[in-house]
Amino acid sequence: MVAERLYYNASALELRALEFAATVTDIRLDSKDTNGQLWQISLDKTAFYPVGGGQPFDLGTLTATSRSGAVLEVQVERVEEDEAGEVWHYVRKPLMHETEIVGRVDASRRMDHAQQHSGQHLLSAIFLEEVGAKTVSFHLGADSVTIDLAVEKLSEEHLQQVEAAANRVIYEDRVIAPRWVERAEAEAMLQRGELRKLPERQGPMRIVEMQGIEFNACGGTHVASTGAIGSILVRRTEKVKQGTRVEFVCGLRAVETARRDYALLRQAAGLLSVGAKDLPARVEKLLQDAKAAAKELKLLKKAASSGTPPAQEAIHSAGE
Ligand SMILES: [Zn+2]
């Protein structure tokens, strides 16, 4: 019997999706760990999200209290799901079979992931609707979040249009809620075009509905409504083999990224003693000056080696 997933029927930040009591059902030593100190623990139920679907795992702690009252708290370093669907929590101290524990998921990391992941659902739905661009993959990293779209090129105008439309849905604060449907019903939804794709596995499916926007067969963690995504900022695009990669940030990450970018801009403008908006023109002028100086130096060196002074006009024109 694999662990019950406590985050499945809750939104990402509800207490029941963050803190829980459970019992250790199995423990094994991680064979790949070279110093033999990494343990994998399974539980009868868990709120920890394992890595999957482009989304990283949760972090947090498992706490056991002995009969004598001694408290042992272990850090969860990694969470993975195996092929049988069992969730393994990686820890540095062993917790024996049948130990009762209290698990606590790091709420700020969970919130960040839920904001980026829910924002991705929204952005992908809008890209499809507004410009017909289908999402083929998603990556949520510590520094950047990207989707790859099956489209050759995206104009700046289209990017702004999609970003504005996605942010409108955020202000509309639409409900995001999971529900379970049988495989046959999910297939009927696929036929009707309500779902874009279905995972291969059999049995009941978790369908996440973003009210009025989309249905998505997804096992990830989501915020309770689009308002909690906070904001979406599209940063840049890049051509990749499968189409176009779009980098974006949501929620608190958008604020942090904007603040960091602005600090860099201010630093660069400060070095050149100009205001931020005059920075591109100032850099362009400096590059032109450097190019002209290099050309002039080349002429002077040539003249020095041949022993004849360069013509004044030549130096003058190089400086223009
Ligand atoms: Zn999802």
162 shares its domain with 15: no
- In the reported structure, the alpha carbon of residue 221 is separated from the centroid of ligand 1 by a whole-number distance in angstroms of 6
34 shares its domain with 69: yes
pLDDT for 315 equals 56
130 shares its domain with 212: yes
Work out how many domains the chain is built from and give that number.
3
Structural domain boundaries enclosing 129: 110-268
Rounded distance, CA 42 to CA 308, Å? Answer: 84
Here the CATH number for the domain that contains residue 187 is 3.30.980.10
- In the reported structure, the alpha carbon of residue 117 is separated from the centroid of ligand 1 by a whole-number distance in angstroms of 6
Q: Which CA distances in Å does 57 have to 3, 27, 122, 134, 297?
A: 16, 19, 21, 26, 58
- Determine how β-strand 45-46 pairs with β-strand 4-5: parallel
- In the reported structure, the alpha carbon of residue 65 is separated from the centroid of ligand 1 by a whole-number distance in angstroms of 35
- In the reported structure, the alpha carbon of residue 288 is separated from the centroid of ligand 1 by a whole-number distance in angstroms of 50
- In the reported structure, the alpha carbon of residue 99 is separated from the centroid of ligand 1 by a whole-number distance in angstroms of 32
- In the reported structure, the alpha carbon of residue 31 is separated from the centroid of ligand 1 by a whole-number distance in angstroms of 32
224 shares its domain with 195: yes
Rounded distance, CA 198 to CA 126, Å? Answer: 19
- In the reported structure, the alpha carbon of residue 215 is separated from the centroid of ligand 1 by a whole-number distance in angstroms of 10
132 shares its domain with 61: no
- In the reported structure, the alpha carbon of residue 83 is separated from the centroid of ligand 1 by a whole-number distance in angstroms of 20
- In the reported structure, the alpha carbon of residue 287 is separated from the centroid of ligand 1 by a whole-number distance in angstroms of 47
216 shares its domain with 292: no
261 shares its domain with 141: yes
3-state secondary structure 183-225: HHHHHHHHHCCCCCCCCCCCCCEEEEEECCCEEEECCCCCCCE
- In the reported structure, the alpha carbon of residue 216 is separated from the centroid of ligand 1 by a whole-number distance in angstroms of 7
260 shares its domain with 196: yes
- In the reported structure, the alpha carbon of residue 201 is separated from the centroid of ligand 1 by a whole-number distance in angstroms of 17
- In the reported structure, the alpha carbon of residue 239 is separated from the centroid of ligand 1 by a whole-number distance in angstroms of 25
- In the reported structure, the alpha carbon of residue 55 is separated from the centroid of ligand 1 by a whole-number distance in angstroms of 9
- Pairs from 153-160 (Cβ < 8 Å, separation ≥ 24): 153/239, 153/244, 154/237, 154/244, 154/246, 158/130, 158/131, 159/234, 159/237, 159/246, 160/234
pLDDT for 320 equals 47
> What are the phi and psi torsion angles at 20 (to 5°)?
-160, 155
- In the reported structure, the alpha carbon of residue 217 is separated from the centroid of ligand 1 by a whole-number distance in angstroms of 7
- In the reported structure, the alpha carbon of residue 305 is separated from the centroid of ligand 1 by a whole-number distance in angstroms of 70
- In the reported structure, the alpha carbon of residue 16 is separated from the centroid of ligand 1 by a whole-number distance in angstroms of 18
- In the reported structure, the alpha carbon of residue 56 is separated from the centroid of ligand 1 by a whole-number distance in angstroms of 12
- In the reported structure, the alpha carbon of residue 208 is separated from the centroid of ligand 1 by a whole-number distance in angstroms of 7
pLDDT for 290 equals 95
- In the reported structure, the alpha carbon of residue 26 is separated from the centroid of ligand 1 by a whole-number distance in angstroms of 29
Here the CATH number for the domain that contains residue 71 is 2.40.30.130
205 shares its domain with 257: yes
Q: Which of 59, 87, 105 is the last residue of a domain?
A: 105
181 shares its domain with 254: yes
Record the tokens describing residue 126, joined without a space. 């809008």
172 shares its domain with 290: no
pLDDT in tens, the chain (320 residues): 789 999 898 887 788 889 999 999 999 998 887 777 899 999 999 999 998 888 899 999 999 998 899 999 999 999 999 999 999 999 999 999 999 999 999 999 999 999 999 999 999 999 999 999 999 999 999 888 999 999 999 999 999 999 999 999 999 999 999 999 999 999 999 999 999 888 888 889 999 999 999 999 999 999 999 999 999 999 999 999 999 999 999 999 999 999 999 999 999 999 999 999 999 999 999 999 999 999 999 999 999 988 776 666 555 555 44
- In the reported structure, the alpha carbon of residue 198 is separated from the centroid of ligand 1 by a whole-number distance in angstroms of 13
- In the reported structure, the alpha carbon of residue 121 is separated from the centroid of ligand 1 by a whole-number distance in angstroms of 6
Q: Which of 268, 291, 310 is the last residue of a domain?
A: 268
Which residue type sits at 86?
A: E
pLDDT for 13 equals 79
- In the reported structure, the alpha carbon of residue 91 is separated from the centroid of ligand 1 by a whole-number distance in angstroms of 27
Give Cα 98 to chain centroid, integer Å.
36
Q: Which of 51, 78, 105 is the last residue of a domain?
A: 105
Cβ contact 155:250 at 8 Å: no
pLDDT for 225 equals 96
127 shares its domain with 230: yes
